[in-house]
């Protein structure tokens, strides 16, 4: 196997120690190996960088061991060392049984790195990593806030206060006014219900019943403690959001363009930028970023059999936020992403459809960030316009499965539109009188002497008609008689006197 790097190093990182191994290839001679163990204090890591520089090493690979690789990376990425760092997933360099020591692990990683058999993980620049810490911190604080809210709801139930059965949000403006009044000693249900605001004022009767609880000193003390925790957590969330906004000011235009995607708000745009960065050159294609985020099916095949299509873990912060955006798209009930959800949910289920929509949102964000464009809505009928024949065939098959004999006719030409604008009767859709469960028919906007003479709805749409020809003695046909409607194949009876089957475009 060909050696790609004549000099390279590998680090086996632990909490207290870092085992380093350098491999040097001198042409056809034997490979020289240098080993050294360093501590993880800042002074020790500086000495590690100087040791690598002394041996003229430029490429260094290390395992992503928990969070212990981060301080090593922060020190070695300094420009004074001029090192090209690579972070490796431990699953790709798993040690063989019976041959597992720290120096051997470092030597094995260095050997794989020298032959170019390692694939590095995505590590964004320092400012993106700092922004990522802030966004993830906000996520953790928001989770803490949700836990406190759930504890509040459970505490109210223990006192027989059914506020959650009437108000959708017990920590809203009205709910907090009631909770603070209860914690200060108020027990009258009528007075507590009078603190409601907005639409909750229309539920005074239910509020009075819900607030007739059994309050005690122990209950009020716990309620005050939880309200203080809730207020403190919300203040921390506000401080973190202010810092995020300050760091996002240079990219305000990018955040605004990401918010044009349906279902994506400001917080979701922050998460996308913090997790994948603003340089899309690290991902060759949009499919790569979807795979990195864990939003595409897995690939596990053996002996020609597909064993599993389960998605991998990926980036859980980005994946969670994008799935939430996908569920928000389903509430809009319009647009291309909503039609995509419906198409996939029909055959694969709602959860897989939400994951597919999340993947599509990430692909759109990839192009918005990389190409500097804005989201352009394709419309809910985009797939139908892309494949009209396939859509027509599917709809005809569905009607045929319901027991209908479908006959397709081309749409009326555009020349009939001016006639409609001139004050002529509009299109009337309905069923023939006395018919049951029969397909609707369309009465023409424009009549002509030929159709009036035959006593049938006009089938020419206002077009110039040919000179009158002698009609058949029996202008009807078996198909129209079966439907119980006037014959609509009259114009074709001169060419096909036996019936109107030759005028059909397709059927099912």
What are the tens digits of pLDDT across the range 184-206?
999 999 999 999 999 999 999 99
Rounded to 5°, angle at Cα 232 from 228 and 237: 145
Sequence ranges of the domains in the chain: 7-121, 127-250, 252-371, 391-503
| Angle subtended by helix axes 126-158 and 316-332, to nearest 10 | 60
How confident is residue 412, by pLDDT bands cut at 50, 70 and 90? confident
DSSP labels, 147-167: HHHHHHHHHHHHTT--GGGT-
Band of residue 300 on the pLDDT scale cut at 50, 70, 90: confident
Topology of domain 127-250, CATH:
Helix Hairpins (1.10.287)
The superfamily in CATH containing domain 7-121 is Ribonuclease H-like superfamily/Ribonuclease H (3.30.420.10)
Average pLDDT, the chain: 84
Instruction: Tell me the per-residue pLDDT of 70-93, one tens digit each, with 9 for 90 and over.
Output: 999 999 998 788 899 999 988 888
Nearest CA among 459, 465, 342 for reference residue 409? 459
Give DSSP secondary structure letters for 339-377. Answer: HHHHHHHHHH-HHHHHHHHHHHHHHHHHHHHHH------
CB-facing half-sphere around the CA of 362: CA atoms within 13 A: 33
CA-to-CA distance for 256 and 276, rounded, in angstroms?
A: 17
Q: Is 442 strand, coil or helix?
A: strand
Does residue 440 contact residue 429 with C-beta atoms inside 8 Å?
yes
What is the Cα 474 distance to its own chain's centre?
A: 62
Can you name the residues that pair with 187 across neighbouring β-strands? none
Decide: helix, strand or coil at residue 301: strand
- CA–CA separation, 129 and 431 (whole Å): 65
C-alpha span between 347 and 334 (Å, rounded): 20
Q: Which of 40-49, 241-250, 489-498 has the lowest mean pLDDT?
A: 489-498
Distance CA 337, CA 355 (A): 12
Rounded to whole angstroms, how far apart are CA atoms 363 and 287? 8
Res. 498 pLDDT band, cuts 50 70 90: very low
Q: Which residues, 6 or more positions from 333, have their beta carbon under 8 angstroms from its beta carbon?
A: none
- Count the helix, strand and coil residues of the chain and give each as a percent rounded to the nearest 5: 50, 10, 40
Q: Grade residue 490 by pLDDT with cuts at 50, 70 and 90.
A: low
Strand bridging mode 59-63 / 428-430: unpaired
What is the reported pLDDT for 291?
A: 92
Separation between Cα atoms, residue 93 and residue 449, nearest integer Å: 86
For residue 298, the number of C-alpha atoms closer than 13 Å in the C-beta half-sphere is: 11
pLDDT in tens, 239-276: 999 999 999 999 999 999 999 999 999 999 999 999 99
What pTM does this model have?
0.76
Helices 266-276 + 316-332 axis angle, to 10 = 150
Question: Quick count: other Cβ atoms within 10 Å of Cβ 95?
Answer: 13
- Closest to 412 measured CA to CA, from 398, 399, 424: 424
Split at pLDDT 50, 70, 90, the class of 454 is low
Pairing mode, if any, of strands 17-24 and 32-39? antiparallel
94-150: pLDDT as tens digits: 777 777 888 888 999 999 999 999 989 999 999 999 999 999 999 999 999 999 999
The residues, any chain, with a CB within 8 Å of residue 121's CB and separated by 6 or more, are 64, 87, 88, 89
pLDDT tens digits, residue range 142-189?
999 999 999 999 999 999 999 999 999 999 999 999 999 999 999 999
Burial label, 435 (beta-carbon count in 10 A; 0-12, 13-18, 19+): middle
Count other C-beta atoms under 10 Å from residue 237's C-beta: 17
């Amino acid at each position: 196997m060909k050696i790609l790097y004549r000099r390279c190093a590998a680090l086996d990182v632990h909490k207290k120690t870092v085992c380093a191994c350098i491999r040097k290839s001198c042409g056809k001679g034997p490979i020289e190996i240098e080993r050294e163990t360093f501590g993880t204090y800042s002074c020790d890591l500086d000495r590690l960088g100087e040791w690598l520089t002394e041996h003229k090493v430029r490429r260094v690979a290390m395992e992503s061991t928990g969070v212990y690789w981060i301080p090593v990376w922060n020190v070695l990425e300094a420009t004074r060392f001029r090192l090209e760092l690579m972070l490796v997933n431990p699953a790709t360099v798993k040690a063989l049984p019976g041959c597992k020591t720290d120096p051997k692990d470092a030597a094995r990683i260095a050997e794989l790195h020298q032959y170019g058999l390692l694939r590095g993980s995505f590590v964004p620049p320092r400012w993106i990593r700092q922004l990522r810490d802030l966004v993830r911190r906000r996520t953790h604080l928001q989770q803490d806030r949700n836990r406190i809210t759930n504890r509040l709801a459970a505490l109210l139930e223990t006192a027989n206060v059914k506020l959650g059965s009437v108000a959708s949000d017990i920590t809203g403006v009205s709910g907090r006014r009631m909770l603070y009044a209860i914690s200060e000693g108020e027990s009258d249900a009528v007075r507590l219900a009078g603190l409601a605001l907005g639409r909750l004022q229309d539920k005074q009767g239910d509020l009075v019943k819900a607030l007739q609880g059994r309050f005690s000193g122990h209950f009020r003390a716990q309620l005050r403690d939880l309200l203080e925790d809730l207020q403190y957590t919300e203040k921390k969330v506000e401080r973190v959001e202010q810092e995020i906004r300050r760091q996002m000011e240079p990219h305000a235009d990018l955040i605004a363009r990401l918010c044009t995607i349906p279902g994506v708000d400001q917080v979701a745009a922050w998460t996308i930028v913090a997790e994948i960065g603003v340089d899309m050159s690290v991902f060759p294609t949009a499919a790569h970023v979807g795979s990195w985020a864990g939003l595409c099916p897995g690939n596990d095949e053996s002996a020609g059999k597909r064993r599993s299509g389960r998605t991998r873990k990926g980036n859980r912060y980005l994946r969670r936020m994008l799935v939430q955006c996908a569920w928000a798209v389903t509430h809009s009930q319009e647009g291309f992403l909503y039609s995509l959800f419906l198409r996939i949910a029909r055959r694969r289920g709602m959860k897989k459809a939400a994951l597919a929509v999340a993947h599509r949102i990430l692909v759109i964000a990839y192009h918005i960030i990389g190409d500097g464009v804005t989201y352009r809505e394709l419309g809910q009928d985009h797939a139908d316009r892309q494949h009209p024949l396939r859509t027509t065939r599917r709809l005809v098959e569905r009607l045929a499965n319901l027991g209908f004999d479908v006959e397709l006719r081309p749409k009326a030409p555009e020349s009939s539109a001016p006639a409609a604008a001139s004050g002529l009767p509009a299109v009337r859709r309905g069923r023939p009188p006395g018919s049951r469960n029969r397909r609707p028919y369309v009465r023409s906007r424009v009549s002509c002497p030929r159709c009036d003479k035959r006593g049938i709805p006009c089938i020419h749409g206002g077009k110039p008609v040919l000179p009158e020809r002698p009609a058949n003695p029996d202008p009807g046909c078996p198909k129209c008689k079966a439907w119980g409607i006037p014959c609509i194949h009259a114009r074709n009876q001169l060419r096909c006197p036996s019936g109107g089957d030759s005028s059909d475009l397709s059927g099912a």
